[in-house]
Amino acid sequence: MSVDIKLPEGAPEEVVTQALVRDVDLTAFGIHATMALITLDNGHDHNRPNTFGPQSLLALDAAITQATSRNPVAIAITGKPFIFAAGADLSAISFISNREQSLAIGKLGHDVFRRLGQSKIPTFAFINGLALGGGLEVGLHCNYRTLASTAFTALPEVFLGLVPGWGGATILPKLIGPERAVQVIMLNALNNNTMMKAKDALKLGVVDAVYEPSDFLERSIAFAAQVLNGAIKVERKDYSQDPGWDVALATGKAAALKKYGGAEIAAPMKALELIGAAKSNSLSQGFDAEDGALADLTMSDPLRSSLYAFNLIQKKRKKVEGAPKPALARKVSKVGVVGAGLMASQLALLLLRNLKCPVVMTDIDQERADKGVAWVKNELAKLVEKKRMSAEAAHRLELLISGSCDQNTFAGCDFIIEAIFEELSLKQELFKKLETIISPECVLATNTSSLSVERMSEGLKNPQRVVGFHFFNPVAVMPLLEVARTSKTDDETTATAIAIGKELKKTMIICKDAPGFVVNRLLTRFMGEITDAVDEGTAPDVADNAMRAIGFPMSPFQLLDLVGPGVALHVSEVLHANLGDRYRVSPTMAAMVKEGVRNFYIKNEDGNVAANPAAVALIHKGDSPSTADQVRNRALTALAIEARMMLDEGVVTTAAEIDLCMLMGAGWPMHLGGILPYLDREGISEAACAQRFHPKGSASLP
């Protein structure tokens, strides 16, 4: 095949995945012939997975031609060790400015992959490792598929603002039926990009057999031989008359609307359209429809936004902006956690599981300390029960966790984090006492959400050892960790904190010690505009649903219920005291806390969620109501103004760090691409601040 598809100007050069052909003798299986085995390999170690760009697709096309010319009885395709293929090379997409070029890349993928499905001899995919997107789709084009038991597979395109565009949206519904296809293409992708384990892929019918990695290739070849000699027959069901198509599509649409707060986002809607069309479309018709859908989405803002967000997250996972040299980090062999409540216990569990070193918890009495340790051990038991940890591994960790009411037990600790009540004087007193027990090098970290870390270090002999280490709840799930440096925090302390954060598998930003750090400062400003609108007389449902139109999965008052009015009120009071009247303290929220009303929403007698009458009765009713558009505009304008102030103050050094924080710590929708690109696109940045946050015309942004 001779196709000339040049990468767009400025795009990174494609890392080509080669396709290497060799013959496999099947004589040992009673078949006096050979099978041609194509191995995908980009020449890098497992840290760089195989991907398909134009040149890689042409390499595979040439390999299929070469394999066919050898007159084998079958063709099989596999990957390099531990990796099959991670799908399309997306690095150039944001540079494409021509729909025809996008269409050509989609068509090229179909033209190459379909050669496996339309081959005159049987084709097999031996999926020996990770297979995502186009990596799984090349396997779907084959007649039969085996999968390594340790491999994960997925079609994550909808999560990224795309559709499975190289056959997946057409082949999969025909192969496993509409309900299961919606599960794989839609529900898994919308559920934080859930991947299928091998057993799930086998149960769903995505693959035909699963083998252990130790002898995967040998057993896969044996499977192929048994298919060829008739010993194994794989039955395929015709789903064209399946009665479940309408229900499956309705389920997928409901999930997408729920995910994006009722907004009809293009990618999931287009994916559902393609799945529905697969019922009656021929493969060629389906592939043509995929090409068109892919080209349209590629040129759209939501896809460019999603790719910006996705690439930002991937980049910042690997490298923390402004981090000191890793060599400065001190070794951590014992950890202390001050507090044994729920947050402290979550921290202890996370540290224990990842650092695998002694962790000691303390509280004001032994009963509370024991309760925290018991919670940690109970969570370990749950992991064993769910088969996410072996009983032996859990037992080893149990031996490392202990609790005490005596803070002298912290002697010998290299890192201590406090999670006690949010009262500055208590934290100051704590750190002064700890300094009499621990070594001068032991890091003192605080999980405060809004208090001044610098003030906590006042009066200490070694204030350079104090650092903010702000997690988000639930600790094990939320990926962001804000590392806050004071004016005195030294590089060794910061490097140690970053090293621990990496061990905890967190995505981190280093920020200046400023009220609310990044996420809470922006969220509180945003929430304040919503509660202000309600206090001024806007109907609660109008104010609370104002952001739904752009795809927010959770409304402000739902978020309030999640964090609790008490915590939200405390943060707003701290920010009001430190940053002034733009952080107003809502009389409604203050009344909710005073009266002990903990939720704005409750389930009524019918089991449906409704506004809590007790909360509604406490609303400070003004006489200046706003429309939903007005509420949304004022909230977004406030975010733009606050973000600009934070950059000017040096809370963080780049706009991208603010985007990362809101994506990873506040659930800002991926399809909006980060808060600041969205404000730029909508013209809010320039209207509010007379300048954009990101340069106009940047190839990486819509």
Q: How far apart are CA 281 and CA 291, in angstroms?
A: 14
Q: If you ran DSSP here, which 8-state letter would residue 11 be given? A: P
Query: Is the distance from CB of 356 to CB of 335 less than 8 angstroms?
Result: no
C-alpha distance from residue 455 to each of 451, 496, 498 (Å): 8, 21, 22
Q: How far apart are CA 305 and CA 297, in angstroms?
A: 11
Beta-carbon neighbour count of residue 313 at 10 Å? Answer: 17
Label residue 296 exposed, middle or buried (CB < 10 Å: 0-12, 13-18, 19+): middle
Side chain identity at residue 405, one-letter code: C
Q: How far apart are CA 318 and CA 392, in angstroms?
A: 31
Residue 63 in tokens: 């390999």
Choice among 13, 14, 137, 458 that is catalytic: 137
Within 8 A by CB and 6+ apart from 169, the residues are 163, 185, 271, 274, 275, 278, 286, 290, 293
Comparing CA positions, the residue from 501, 497, 568, 504 lying closest to residue 530 is 568
**3-class secondary structure for 379-438?**
HHHHHHHCCCCCHHHHHHHHCCEEEECCHHHHCCCCEEEECCCCCHHHHHHHHHHHCCCC
Query: Is the distance from CB of 52 to CB of 88 less than 8 angstroms?
Result: yes
Beta strand ranges found along 203-358 (DSSP E): 209-211, 335-338
Choice among 9, 14, 100, 157 that is catalytic: 157
SS3 611: strand
Q: How far apart are CA 201 and CA 209, in angstroms?
A: 9
Does the annotation count 273 as an active-site position?
A: no
Residue 231 in tokens: 């010993």
Asked if residue 474 has a cis previous peptide bond (ω within 30° of 0), the answer is yes
Q: How far apart are CA 107 and CA 290, in angstroms?
A: 9
C-alpha distance from residue 406 to each of 315, 317, 441 (Å): 42, 37, 21
**To 10 degrees, what angle do helices 519-535 and 655-665 make?**
70
Q: How far apart are CA 298 and CA 278, in angstroms?
A: 22
Phi, psi (degrees; rounded to nearest 5) at 39: -110, 125
Does the annotation count 157 as an active-site position?
A: yes
40: β partners: 19, 79
Label residue 341 exposed, middle or buried (CB < 10 Å: 0-12, 13-18, 19+): middle
Residues comprising the chain, all counted: 702
Within 8 A by CB and 6+ apart from 351, the residues are 335, 337, 359, 417, 500, 504
C-alpha distance from residue 336 to each of 341, 377, 433, 438 (Å): 14, 17, 14, 11
- Edge-first strand order for the sheet with 153-154 is 83-85, 130-132, 153-154
SS3 475: coil
Distance between first and last Cα of the chain? 33
On the CB side of 431, CA atoms within 13 Å amount to: 31
**Which residues participate in catalysis according to the annotation?**
137, 157
